[in-house]
Structures are given as C-alpha cells and as structure tokens.
Amino acid sequence: MLPRMNGLPVFPSLRITPDGLYARGSFAEAQKTFLTPDLAVVRELDALLRERHIGVVAHYYMDPELQGVLASCEWEHIGVSDSLLMADRGVKMVDAGVRTVVVLGVDFMSENARAMLDAAGHAEVPVYRVAADPIGCSLAESAEARAYGAYLTEAQRTDKALHVVYINTSLVTKAKAHHLVPTITCTSSNVVQTVLQAAAQEPDVAIFFGPDTYMGANLRARFEGLATLDDAAIRAVHPAHDRKSIARLLERFRYFEQGTCIVHHMFGDEVVQLVNEHYADAFVTAHLEVPGEMFALGLEAQQNDRGVVGSTSNILAFIERKVSEAVAAGGTDTLRFVLGTEAGMITPIVKNVQRVLREGGARFDAEIVFPVAEEAVSMTGDASLPIVPGVKGGEGCSTAGGCATCPYMKMNSLTALLDLCRRIEVVEGVDLAPFEPKKYVERIAGRTAADLGGEPILHMRAFQQEGVLPETLVEDIRTRFDRRSTLPHR
C-alpha cells in the first residue's frame, strides 16, 4: 500500500504492471491519460514522418501525450533522450537519409542540433522547432545575466582557468564565454568525469562551473566526499587521482551561485522530509540539478545501491536495472521508486519497465512516486480531459510538494508537431523561418556565434570519444592567460 497521511496518499504515484497502469492521485491520473495514445493520431504522424523523411529528436521532459504518441510510432528515425544525445541522433538520422530534423525541446537544444549538423557537413538540412515563439529556459537565461558576465570576467583574470558550462545554455552564451576563457560543455552525465579529467591533464586548472547553482554545489559535495576516501577508492572513480589531487582540485573549484532550473528548484527540504518519513523502503532517484537536500538523500541511497544521482539516462538505467534484478531473483514485492526529476520521465520508464516485467514473467509490480503536491494539476474544463499536469500559474510547481513539469518543455505540443509536419515539403510559399533555430548575426572575435559557440560542444564530443580533453583545449588552458598581456597577473 502507498503510504497515507490524513487518509490520502502522501504523494501521487503510478503503479506499473506488465500489461496495465494504475494511478493513485489526480496528478498521476493526468500522467497516465496520455500513455495510451489515440491510434489514429499515431498512424497519421507515422505516415507524415515516413513520407516526408522527417527525423524527430526529443527530450525526456516532453509531456506524456507527445511522448506516448512518439513511442507508439514505427518510424525508425525518432529519438527520445537526454540533451547529450539529441544532436548526435540528429546527425545519425541525416546520415541515414532523413531530409529534415525536428527538435522537441527548448531553444538551446535546437541550436545545438543545428551547430552539430553544420559541423558534420549537413548545413543544407533544415532544422525546425515546433513553436514560432521562443522556447526559453530559466537556467539558460541565468547565464545571460550580468552576474554571469562578471563571473566569467573573474575566470578570465585567473591563470589556467577552464569554464565548464552546462550544455543547457544558448550558443551565444557558449560563444561569448569561450571568447573570454577556454570553455567546454558538459551534461549531468559526464560533468564529474569532465572536471576530474581536466584536473588530471592540468593539475593547476581552475574550474569555473556554471550556470546551475545546485549542480555546482552538488559537485563540490561530491568532490568533498571523494576527498574523504582512501586513494584506492578514489582511483576507482578516476585512475589519475588520489586524496592529495582531489584536495588540490577543491581549492580551485568554483561554481556560479545565481542559476537555477525552476523544475528542480522545488525538490527541497520539505519534499525530502516527507520522503524520509513515508518512503523509507523506496529507491531514490535524483537528478544532479536538484537542491542539496534531495541530492544528499539520493547520494546516501546510491552508496547502498538503493538509489542513483545523475542524469535522466542514469535514472532510467537504474530503474531498469533494479527491476531486472528483482525479476531474476524471483521477487514478489512491489518495487517503489521516488522520481526526483521532471515528470516527463514517466513515459520511457513505463515503456522499459513493462518490457522487463513481460519478458521476465514477473510476479510483482513497480511503482513510481511523484514527489509533488496533489495541487500540482490544473482543471481544464474539458470533459474528455478534465485535468492536466501543472498549476494555472504555468510553472507546474507547488511549494507544498515539489515540481511537476517544465512549462518551457510543454510549449512542444502534439498539435504543433502535427501541424509543422503537414507543412514541411508540401505547402509552397509557406514561410517556416520562424520555426528555425535562432540565427545569431553578431560576430565575436571575427567568428559567428554559431561557429565559436559550437567549439565547446565539439570539445565535449572529443572527450566523450577519446576519454581525454583535446590537446588544443589543454594548451589553451595553459597559455590563454599568458597571452592576454592586458590582464594583471596574480
């Protein structure tokens, strides 16, 4: 039974069986509604994508309605993933013959896809968003504020500085930053190894991480935790490090203190208290962007293999692994997981969990607990769909219990996707320019923002492929400060 308080479930949840879904609470019911899509809509979208050779790359945080339809399509060139893989999948789709790429996400994601396609020699392939209006991101916008400019100026005036910027930022942010200080992008799944590898290749590196404040604080906590381990345990995380080198890294590690994602901002102390009180038997998953309280809870659980802290992909893999282990062990008890990230993750979770349960002939269920308030839904007035995730204020959050959904991601709707696909390559004279990623006309140090801003992404791609930072970047870290003769030396 789901824990109850005052006769009601503490948090809404969705119970997953091999062949069915059972919602507890109105928020969970809203999520469940879209997980079984209208087959007529699925067939229409599938036909449009196939006939017009359209590839779709989408983020895990899309709403369940959109993800439910995409997951039911048979067209092979549909990819739902975290931000790290979206642009890569777009390139692979074009290599396989796709003629147009549609990006379902916020604007920096379509910008990244455009930049990577250009870098791969596919500048002629159109990339579209599904909204004519900008699709912003609270975290990306924090990197465009004056405070972040001052932060980068500090980095510029620091010897052997490296700016590690979260990929959830615009191309122009990356370009301006890279102009000031050597910059590499990162994601929540590779940021720890990025920082450790930088410190391995240049022991005196000064890391400036941003703009996500919670992730920065969590990284510091992670490194402080490493510093308490013995050298063998540290080398298991990264072979080039020991207690002495981690201590040295901590002395030169900084993070921006004024950048937050509105989704993860709400997973704070109140939520953690309720989880501790009512879900002591549950596995805990926490995105690396959540506040320190939820991070600490997830990290403690992770140390006992009762949880995971990391990216959306890490969370998905952990849940699938735990369900698979229970199937192999012949388990019969319900597995319960607290989902410490955006609710859009439920679609791939359901798909993967049901597959594992069916293939293993499982005799148990899995339950996903949403640490959000029951109030985090809106009444629509529509008889066929009376409730949807998100409060009327638009942010999908409630101080009573966490954040439901990202309002920016939800600007990507099924209706908008279908409308765009109907217009691609068919309607003559239709101007699709408003749906293209933003074009930055300004030039920085004689280079376009797209060109200069794409370089930190390419540095990350090289690190992902080779396991080391590119030598050009390392050399830049070592010499950029010395080449700027106008700057005072410390």
Q: What is the structure's pLDDT at 261?
A: 55
Q: Write phi, then psi, for 309 (nearest 5 degrees).
A: -120, 125
Sign of torsion over alpha carbons 373, 375, 379, 383:
positive
Q: What is the structure's pLDDT at 260?
A: 63
**Distance set, CA 278 to CA 202, 228, 272, 385 (Å):** 46, 31, 10, 31
- Domain membership of residue 331 (yes or no) is no
Strands 4-5 and 8-9 come out as antiparallel
184 lies in the same domain as 234: yes
User: How would you label 141-175 residue by residue, b for 16+ Cβ within 10 Å and e otherwise?
Assistant: bbbeeebbeebbeebbbbbbbbbbbbbbbbbbbbb
Return the beta strands (E) in 146-205 as ranges. 161-166, 183-186
Which residues, in sequence order, are CB contacts of 315 under 8 Å at separation 6+? 285, 287, 308, 339, 341, 345
- Domain membership of residue 373 (yes or no) is no
Q: What is the structure's pLDDT at 395?
A: 33
- Domain membership of residue 223 (yes or no) is yes
* Closest among 19, 21, 3 to 11, alpha carbons compared: 3
Residue 444 has pLDDT above 80, yes or no: yes
Lowest mean pLDDT among 177-186, 200-209, 336-345, 420-429: 420-429
Q: What is the structure's pLDDT at 383?
A: 46
Instruction: Determine the structural domain holding residue 245 and report its residue range.
Output: 139-260+439-483
Residues 125-141 pLDDT 10s:
999 999 888 776 666 67
pLDDT-derived band at 398 (thresholds 50, 70, 90) equals: very low
99 lies in the same domain as 156: no
155 lies in the same domain as 233: yes
- Domain membership of residue 220 (yes or no) is yes
pLDDT-derived band at 399 (thresholds 50, 70, 90) equals: very low
466 lies in the same domain as 426: no
143 lies in the same domain as 179: yes
Residue 428 has pLDDT above 80, yes or no: no
- Domain membership of residue 226 (yes or no) is yes
Domain count, the chain: 2
Residue 257 has what DSSP assignment? S
Q: What is the structure's pLDDT at 95?
A: 96
146 lies in the same domain as 66: no
Instruction: State the chain's mean pLDDT as an integer.
Output: 83
Per the rule left: phi > 0, alpha: psi between -120 and 50, beta: everything else, 344 is alpha
Q: What is the structure's pLDDT at 397?
A: 35
Percent of the chain whose predicted confidence (pLDDT) is above 70: 83
- Domain membership of residue 286 (yes or no) is no
150 lies in the same domain as 247: yes
Integer-rounded Cα radius of gyration of the chain: 23
Lowest mean pLDDT among 287-291, 305-309, 359-363, 397-401: 397-401
107 lies in the same domain as 219: no
- Domain membership of residue 318 (yes or no) is no
204 lies in the same domain as 253: yes
Structure tokens at 149: 């400019």
83 lies in the same domain as 185: no
Q: Count of residues for the chain?
A: 490
Structure tokens at 383: 């008889």
Q: The CATH number of the domain where 430 resides is what?
A: 3.40.50.10800
Paired strand residues for 436? none
- Domain membership of residue 478 (yes or no) is yes
Residues 39-91 pLDDT 10s:
999 999 999 999 999 999 998 777 777 888 998 899 999 998 877 688 889 99
Note the Cα 267 to chain centre separation in Å.
Answer: 16
Give burial (CB, 10 Å; 0-12/13-18/19+) of 286. buried
127 lies in the same domain as 171: no
- How far apart are the C-alpha atoms of 456 and 306, rounded to whole Å? 35
50 lies in the same domain as 69: yes
Q: What is the structure's pLDDT at 50?
A: 95
The two most distant CA atoms of the chain are separated, in Å, by 70
Residues 304-329 pLDDT 10s:
999 998 888 889 999 999 999 999 99
Structure tokens at 471: 């030598």
